[in-house]
Structure 1
Amino acid sequence: MAAGAASQLGLRAAGLGRAPASAAWRSVLRVSPRPGVAWRPSRCGSSAAEASATKAEDDSFLQWVLLLIPVTAFGLGTWQVQRRKWKLNLIAELESRVLAEPVPLPADPMELKNLEYRPVKVRGCFDHSKELYMMPRTMVDPVREAREGGLISSSTQSGAYVVTPFHCTDLGVTILVNRGFIPRKKVNPETRQKGQIEGEVDLIGMVRLTETRQPFVPENNPERNHWHYRDLEAMARITGAEPIFIDANFQSTVPGGPIGGQTRVTLRNEHLQYIVTWYGLSAATSYLWFKKFLRGTPGV
């Protein structure tokens, strides 16, 4: 009996010695095995490598996303260079038109589409009984406009432009003439009878085309005779004139009448500032990107 018990104890001891290492660890850690699931020790080194690879991928993605900032800024700067060339050509063309010698007003209205801002000369008489008022307006000072590039209004005084039908005796048609600026207190023609020209006169003015209403600009109000933009078709219907419009020049001004020369012919050209801004932003962000990702400077 004693020998049999000793033999069984020896076999159990031998069995414990042959037990797998995982069983021993479960015994020490008091972890109960789950049926069908093999226990494996944690692979800490592999997880660290995977985390490092993921971080590298994230950094690479961020690197190329941030590179879009200097590239986009450079593209916008180059676009502004092209815009500046276009604007300079437009200004040169506008100046050549404004300074050109006046030509007779064409008999064919279709020719006027290519003559905006071109001086034309007409002869005829005004019909003051059908005046239209474009308001509110501020007076244009040609000298100040040229000096300040049209950045601000030439005057803070509010008023209106007087648009009067003008019958061209040589062409046999009636057109619309913007005689110029009057202060608000002079809108009533009874207050400026001295400036109501009678008889035939010679006029020089710049051709202007119709306008479309811009955002935030009120609708025209023909019933109240308030016009906020040049709608030549509507103006022509009201007055019985042709949809032909000219701005009378400053020399057409008479004592007591509207002040002529109310054509703003200057264009804003701020593209050089935009070029410096965009190229400067591109250079600064390119330097920061190079310092961060190519030189690996910490803390940037």
Structure 2
Amino acid sequence: MMGWGRLLLGASCQIPNGLVRRKSFGYPLIKVHSGLIQQNKEICLRLCKHRSTTAASAKSEEDVVFKWGLFLIPVTTFFLGTWQVQRRKWKLKLIADLESRTASEPISLPIDPMELKELEYRPVKVRGYFDHSKELYVLPRSMVDPEQEARDAGKLISSAKIGANVITPFHCTDLGVTILVNRGFVPKKKVNPETRLKGQIQDEIDLVGLVRLSETRKPFVPENNIEKNLWHYRDLEAMARVTGTQPIFIDADFRSTVPGGPIGGQTRVTLRNEHLQYIVTWYGLCAATSYLWYRKFIQKIPF
């Protein structure tokens, strides 16, 4: 009976962890101290707030880097387009100067190497005779024919003839030196001089040609084979050593052509000018990427 009395009267007892357990009318009641739960709640809120702030800050930094990193694309393409504008101006001036130089009146050939360096593509005149016994052959070469090239423009297959340029020592009687002259183009079957004896001029003649300088070997161009007399690029020093001439070289003009001989006028004076295409390409990319960047980061329109 005493035990039932305590239960009905709601006798209380202290239990660990700050909980007070009471029983009233046979139902247990638990009361948690309000200070403890409030403290835990504040700690949880502070942790969540700190994590949220850290994540938001990191995401914001990533967005800024991404935004301005992408902005470099239109900026870079704009500067590349502007650079090509300047390059095109330079190339047009170079082409104009080249055309003016090749069309100028011939001058007497100077033999000063320093003066010759400033005269490439300039017409010069000489008088003398050829030494056909020391011919050199630069090949393979296609014949320079502006009319044929104009007709072949736009065609997938060119009808240009393939052969060689004949380089012959020429003794200048008025200067007392021997130079190298590119007499012009011969087809492959006419490379052997015995097949074109009619064109092997023996007399003293007046000759007009364009000054040419030595050139370096371009990528994928074979090395010159001096032993077999097969030349793939114009190496004046080596050619002069082989023929015993001065390292002075001219391309004979078309008027030097004789029946049965090489066809003169084999100087290509055109320069590639594709800068307008590059200008359109770079400025086009600049405009497109600028528009996309504006929609993404200014208007905030998702793609």
TM above 0.5: yes
TM-score normalised to the size of structure 1? 0.85
Partner of 1:240: 244
- Equivalent of 2:70 in 44, 66, 87: 66
User: In the alignment, does 2:297 pair up with 1:273?
Assistant: no
C-alpha distance in 2 between matches for 1:256 and 1:103 = 28
Deviation at 1:53, TM superposition (A): 2.7
User: In the alignment, does 2:143 pair up with 1:139?
Assistant: yes
Instruction: Please give the per-residue CA displacement for 1:189-233, whole angstroms capped at 9, x wherever unaligned.
Output: 110001101110111000000011112111100100000111101
C-alpha distance in 2 between matches for 1:282 and 1:205 = 47
Q: Is contact 1:161–1:181 with CA below 8 Å preserved after alignment?
A: yes
Partner of 1:34: none
Bigger radius of gyration among the two: 2
Deviation at 1:268, TM superposition (A): 1.2
- 1:13–1:106 distance in 2 versus 1, CA, 3 Å: closer
Partner of 1:107: 111
Q: Is contact 1:162–1:180 with CA below 8 Å preserved after alignment?
A: yes
Unaligned 5+ segments in structure 2 are 21-30
- 1:292–1:260 distance in 2 versus 1, CA, 3 Å: same
Deviation at 1:49, TM superposition (A): 3.6
Partner of 1:250: 254
Deviation at 1:111, TM superposition (A): 1.1
Count of aligned pairs between the two proteins: 283
- Equivalent of 1:214 in 215, 218, 221: 218
Q: Is contact 1:162–1:181 with CA below 8 Å preserved after alignment?
A: yes
Partner of 2:230: 226
Deviation at 1:131, TM superposition (A): 0.1
5 Å-filtered alignment, 1:144-293, equals 155-293=159-297
Q: Is contact 2:148–2:160 with CA below 8 Å preserved after alignment?
A: no
Identity %: 66
TM-score normalised to the size of structure 2? 0.85
User: In the alignment, does 2:19 pair up with 1:16?
Assistant: yes
- Which fold has the larger relative contact order, with Cα–Cα distance below 8 Å and residues 6 or more apart in sequence? 1
3-state SS, counterpart of residue 300 of structure 2: coil
Unaligned 5+ segments in structure 1 are 26-38
Q: Is contact 2:98–2:121 with CA below 8 Å preserved after alignment?
A: yes
3-state SS, counterpart of residue 101 of structure 1: coil
C-alpha distance in 2 between matches for 1:102 and 1:152 = 38
Q: Is contact 1:80–1:274 with CA below 8 Å preserved after alignment?
A: yes
Q: Is contact 1:138–1:154 with CA below 8 Å preserved after alignment?
A: no
Letter in 2 for 1:276: V
- 1:289–1:271 distance in 2 versus 1, CA, 3 Å: same
C-alpha distance in 1 between matches for 2:178 and 2:143 = 26
Q: Is contact 2:152–2:158 with CA below 8 Å preserved after alignment?
A: no
* RMSD of aligned alpha carbons: 3.0
Deviation at 1:289, TM superposition (A): 0.4
More strand by share: 2
C-alpha distance in 2 between matches for 1:67 and 1:108 = 55
C-alpha distance in 2 between matches for 1:90 and 1:140 = 21
Partner of 2:91: 87
C-alpha distance in 2 between matches for 1:21 and 1:159 = 104
- 1:154–1:116 distance in 2 versus 1, CA, 3 Å: farther
